[in-house]
Amino acid sequence: MRNRFTLFIATVMTAAGLGGAAKAETAHHFTFKSIEGGTLPLKAWVGKPILVVNTASRCGFTPQYEGLQALWERYRDQGLVVLGVPSNDFGGQEPGTATEIKDFCETTFSVDFPLTEKTVVKGEGIHPFYAWARDSRTDLPTPSWNFHKYLIAPDGSLAGAFATATDPLSPQVTKAVEDALNRNVK
């Protein structure tokens, strides 16, 4: 009886997407919900590097949106995708609705890179992508505040992580992005 219950719970968790982090081999197995509705499957960007950044509108690091937009503009024609992931996990600094967040990003920083709906990036209810990133490369830092950056390689592997204070246009980030852009994926 106990084994059946365990199997049932595992099946329900997998069907709900909660068990995906342990089984996924690459970031391309994950999907976010778009801030505009619909989905943002990371598999849509196979062959392209993706910079996944948990963001917040009322944070001391919020001006990094400007650098993220500049990075996106500089490298998007070469294949880079910047994905903003609004999160209210750190200091309650993203309390707004999807419409408020989207409007703020567009009007204040002219953001036109993709944004997800508000997402949990740590603790209970963590999005499966963030659990996968945490577990797949224990040598890399995990989000401890807003504007933590994960770089996904074109093959879907986790290529790097950058702490909150690392500016999106820093040589460290731009070199990693350029290296990822130069990787061939077939």
Residues belonging to the active site: 59
Among the listed residues 113, 122, 96, 128, the one whose alpha carbon sits nearest the alpha carbon of residue 26: 128
CB atoms within 10 A of CB 63: 12
Among the listed residues 96, 95, 87, the one whose alpha carbon sits nearest the alpha carbon of residue 164: 87
DSSP 8-state symbol, 86: E
Contact 177, 71 (CB under 8 A): yes
